[in-house]
């Protein structure tokens, strides 16, 4: 039987702190599961948050916590954009690739059937944009079909290194829906040195050629650069170069090098520090595209139903932020 | 613009600061701004109202009765919470006690809250006298925690409930807000059951004296009554203060307390 005095203790202790303040309340002797259930029921009924129960001590926050999801910019709400890793193999072996892609990497393709089902379910799940990435998606012989499955239902972005627009791959590009598809091509610098240093000799020139080809074919092109933090202040020449290529300012994306995958340096990105972007690979659902080859950010192996995967990511984000808020309140330095 | 209306309230919990800062923010930038002063007890708050330190006091029902007594009825009530119009005292006992009404308390022990709590001490005695066996035939176990705050903290009522759980009392008289806060009979099955609920009576109100004219209080009241439960900016304050909307005062609801104070010879001031 639950210790009846615990409810009285909860009322008294929680009533003595200010809104959003936290307090630890000993729940007394009893079955831990029953004590936790009783504390949870009281919190639910009285509009307070049960932060945690450890060793028969409940930590309660007075009042309802602000919903972390509600505080996000609507465009950042997890599940607004859906990332899909079409494959992991690549014609390049960039030394900082967050997905550890290379010519030696196993393909681990998501496949047309799953991409089609994801795209269909994405509409019902409230996704507003699909993003296909790899690996290098243009290595897939059916990349045009994958893209068509996506553009048929939602605006889509396809990430590529832009180096393979020849022959049948150029034909595949030409079959894609220009009105619904944007291409995001990786380019790290205004000259070849820095780009080639990380991505391989000659890759800069071919990427620039790919940008021009994509433009000539009538596609919207976004350019994404990955830069070490110390170089992120020297962007003027790079932006000037992208301007000269006809890349609109809003399509010039600069991102910091992440210490993930093959990178041996960069900013540390964890579940706690990242706002999640639901990311699907052949192996499961991941927290963010930057960590799609890292088990520490695997959310679930179950890709379907997509709605449940999105719900789980949102639930975990709420939990992580609540824990962070709690920790911040528990460790004041003065 | 006139000086902000100065409202007094008693600091019975840290949340009071949040509530009144929220109220001050709500009125900020309007033609009727307000500020607030917090007191440690209702006695000093009523003193401050009478000497003009504050323009309006957020008073308990006992503080209202005492203000009426000290001003010979010259004070006026401005507004109250919707929940203040339907306040009740609940008599509870251990589940299975077989106490079925106030008469069942004869020769038993009844735990009461703080002596200055209308809901948990003064009115329970009144109800015993007028609807039960008479207070003289019941052993009263008084738990005077937090005297001065008129039972606002709820602590004395929780102490009364603990006395029942510990078998130091057979029953307890508590406010309906405390009964709700413990989840009535639902969260602690087998612990408590209510065996008598009082008629509804009035609880807190905003009190002003005649030298604060209606020209100052009415614009403030108009804004107060405009607070909207469905407005997300207003709602947190309303939730914290325990109401859905502000309403005009219902003075009839104080009749039982006036009578109880007179019968129990509770002084007009301490």
Dist. CA B234–CA A254, nearest whole Å? 41
pLDDT at B213 over 80: yes
* Nearby residues of B30 by Cβ (< 8 Å), 6 or more positions away: B219, B223
Do A153 and A119 meet the contact criterion of CB atoms below 8 Å apart? Answer: yes
Break chain B into its structural domains and give their ranges: 5-84+202-263, 88-197
| Cβ neighbours of B191 in A, within 8 Å | 4, 7
Work out the pLDDT band at B1, boundaries 50, 70, 90. Answer: low
* Nearby residues of A284 by Cβ (< 8 Å), 6 or more positions away: A298, A299, A300, A301, A302, A303
Work out the pLDDT band at A333, boundaries 50, 70, 90. Answer: low
Question: Chain A window 2-31: which residues touch B at a Cβ cutoff of 8 Å?
Answer: 2, 4-5, 7-8, 11-12, 15-19, 21
Q: Which of A1, A7, A63 sits opposite B182 (nearest CB)?
A: A7
Per the CATH hierarchy, to which homologous superfamily does domain B88-197 belong? Answer: Periplasmic binding protein-like II (3.40.190.10)
B5-84+202-263 has CATH 3.40.190.10 classification: yes
Work out the pLDDT band at A165, boundaries 50, 70, 90. Answer: very high
Mean residue pLDDT of chain A comes to: 93
Best probe of the A interface among B11, B38, B181, B244, by most A CBs < 10 A, is B181
SS (H, E, C) A234-286: CCHHHHHHHHHCCCCHHHEEEEECECCCCCCCCECCCCCCCCCCCEEECCEEE
> What ipTM was assigned to the predicted interfaces of this complex?
0.89
Angle, in degrees to the nearest 10, between helices A306-330 and A112-124: 70
Nearest CA to A164 out of A139, A189, A193 is that of A139
Best probe of the B interface among A1, A2, A6, A7, by most B CBs < 10 A, is A7
Q: Give the model's pLDDT for residue A330.
A: 58
Q: Give the model's pLDDT for residue B202.
A: 98
- More reliable by pLDDT, B190 or B44: B44
Tens of pLDDT, residue by residue over A171-229, are 999 999 999 999 999 999 999 998 999 999 999 999 999 999 999 999 999 999 998 77
Q: Give the model's pLDDT for residue B53.
A: 97
pLDDT at A144 over 90: yes
Q: Do A15 and B191 touch (CB under 8 A)?
A: no
B17–chain A Cβ distance below 8 A for any pair: yes
| Cβ neighbours of A30 in B, within 8 Å | none
A74-306 has CATH 3.20.20.70 classification: yes
Same fold, B5-84+202-263 and B88-197: yes
A66–chain B Cβ distance below 8 A for any pair: no
Q: Do B165 and A18 touch (CB under 8 A)?
A: no
| Cβ neighbours of B177 in A, within 8 Å | none
Q: Do B14 and A18 touch (CB under 8 A)?
A: yes
- Please tell me the distance in Å from A12's CA to the nearest CA on chain B: 6
B13–chain A Cβ distance below 8 A for any pair: yes
Q: Give the model's pLDDT for residue B258.
A: 98
Best probe of the A interface among B20, B188, B232, B242, by most A CBs < 10 A, is B188
How many other C-beta atoms lie within 10 A of the C-beta of residue A288? Answer: 24
Work out the pLDDT band at A331, boundaries 50, 70, 90. Answer: low
Mean pLDDT of A254-264: 91
What share of chain A in percent tops pLDDT 90? 76
pLDDT at B13 over 70: yes
């Amino acid at each position: 039987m639950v210790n009846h005095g615990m409810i009285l203790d909860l009322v008294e202790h929680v009533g003595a702190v200010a809104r959003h303040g936290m307090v630890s309340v000993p729940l007394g002797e009893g079955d831990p599961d029953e004590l936790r259930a009783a504390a949870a029921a009281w919190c639910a009924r009285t509009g307070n948050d049960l932060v945690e129960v450890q060793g028969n001590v409940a930590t309660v926050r007075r009042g309802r916590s602000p919903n972390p999801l509600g505080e996000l910019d609507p465009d950042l709400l997890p599940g607004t954009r859906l990332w899909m890793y079409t494959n992991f193999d690549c014609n390049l072996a960039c030394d900082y690739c967050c997905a550890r892609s290379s010519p030696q990497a196993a393909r681990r393709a998501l496949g047309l059937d799953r991409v089609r089902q994801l795209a269909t379910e994405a509409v019902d799940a409230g996704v507003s944009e699909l993003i296909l990435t790899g690996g290098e998606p243009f290595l897939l012989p059916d990349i045009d079909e994958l893209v068509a499955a996506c553009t048929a239902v939602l605006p889509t972005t396809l990430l590529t290194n832009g180096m393979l627009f020849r022959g049948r791959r150029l034909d595949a590009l030409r079959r894609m829906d220009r009105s619904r598809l944007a291409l995001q091509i990786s380019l790290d610098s205004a000259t070849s040195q820095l780009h080639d240093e990380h991505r391989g000799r000659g890759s800069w020139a071919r990427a620039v050629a790919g940008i021009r080809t994509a433009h000539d074919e009538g596609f919207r092109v976004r350019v994404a650069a990955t830069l070490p933090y110390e170089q992120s202040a020297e962007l003027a020449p790079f932006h000037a170069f992208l301007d000269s290529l006809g890349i609109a300012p809003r399509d010039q994306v600069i991102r910091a090098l992440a210490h993930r995958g093959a990178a041996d340096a960069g900013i540390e990105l964890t579940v706690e520090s990242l706002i999640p972007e639901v990311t699907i690979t052949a192996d499961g659902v991941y927290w963010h595209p930057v960590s799609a080859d890292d088990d520490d950010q695997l959310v679930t192996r179950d890709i379907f139903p997509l709605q449940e995967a999105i719900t789980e990511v949102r639930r975990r984000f709420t939990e992580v932020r609540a824990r962070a808020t709690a920790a911040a309140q528990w460790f004041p330095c003065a | 613009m006139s000086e902000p209306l100065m409202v007094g309230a008693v600091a019975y919990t840290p949340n009071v600061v949040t509530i009144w800062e929220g109220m001050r923010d709500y009125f900020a930038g309007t033609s009727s701004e307000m500020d607030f002063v917090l007191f440690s007890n209702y006695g000093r708050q009523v003193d401050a109202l009478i000497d003009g330190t504050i323009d309006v006091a957020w008073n308990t029902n006992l503080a209202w009765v005492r203000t009426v007594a000290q001003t010979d009825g010259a004070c006026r009530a401005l507004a109250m919470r919707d929940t203040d119009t339907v306040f009740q005292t609940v008599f509870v006992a251990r589940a299975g006690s077989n106490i079925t009404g106030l008469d069942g308390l004869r020769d038993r022990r009844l735990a009461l809250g703080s002596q200055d709590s209308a809901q948990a001490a003064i009115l329970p005695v009144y109800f015993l006298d007028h609807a039960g066996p008479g207070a003289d035939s019941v052993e009263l176990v008084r738990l005077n925690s937090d005297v001065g705050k008129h039972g606002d903290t709820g602590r004395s009522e929780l102490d009364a409930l603990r006395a029942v759980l510990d078998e130091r009392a057979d029953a307890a008289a508590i406010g309906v807000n405390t009964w709700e806060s413990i989840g009535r009979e639902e969260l602690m099955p087998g612990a408590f059951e209510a065996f008598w609920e009082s008629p509804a009576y009035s609880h807190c109100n905003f009190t002003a004296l005649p030298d604060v004219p209606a020209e100052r209080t009415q614009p403030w009241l108009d804004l107060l009554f405009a607070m909207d439960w469905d407005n997300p900016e207003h709602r947190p304050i309303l939730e914290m203060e325990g109401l859905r909307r502000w309403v005009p005062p219902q003075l009839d609801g104080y009749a039982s307390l006036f009578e109880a104070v007179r019968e129990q010879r509770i002084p007009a001031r301490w």
